[in-house]
């Protein structure tokens, strides 16, 4: 009887602060390189919601939740 080694589960990256996903299309966004839009109001409420350039344009640069103008992160 052998106990297998417990692999995995350890290596979660520490890059949560520089990468995000577009809330609309789920595209991966690099906060340090890409132009990323966010709603300042949602962020003050604690929602880390981001939008890619294409979707920000499609939303007419307005937050779909509260209509606040999106800002470049």
Q: Kindly identify the residues of this chain, within the stretch 7-46, that bind Zn ion according to CB under 5 A.
A: 22, 24-25, 27, 39, 41-42
Question: What whole-number distance in Å separates Cα of residue 10 and Cα of residue 20?
Answer: 21
* 55 binds Zn ion per the rule CB under 5 A: yes
Q: Output 5 or 26, the one with its CB closest to Zn ion.
A: 26
Q: What is the DSSP code (8-state) at residue 38? A: E
User: What separation in angstroms does the CA of 24 have from each of 8, 13, 15, 20, 27?
Assistant: 30, 23, 21, 12, 8
Q: How many chain residues bind Zn ion (CB under 5 A)?
A: 13
**Residue number with CB closer to Zn ion (18 or 67):** 67
Which one of residues 20, 29, 36, 52 is an interface residue with Zn ion (CB under 5 A)? 52
Are 36 and 29 in contact by the 8 Å Cβ rule? The answer is yes
Binding site for Zn ion (CB under 5 A): 22, 24-25, 27, 39, 41-42, 52, 55, 63, 65-66, 68
């Amino acid at each position: 009887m052998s106990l297998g080694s417990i692999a995995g589960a350890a290596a979660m990256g520490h890059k949560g602060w520089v990468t995000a996903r577009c809330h609309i299309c789920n595209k991966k966004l690099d906060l340090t390189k890409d132009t990323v839009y966010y709603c300042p109001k949602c962020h003050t409420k604690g929602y880390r919601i981001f939008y890619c350039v294409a979707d920000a344009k499609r939303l007419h640069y307005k937050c779909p939740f509260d209509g606040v103008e999106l800002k470049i992160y």
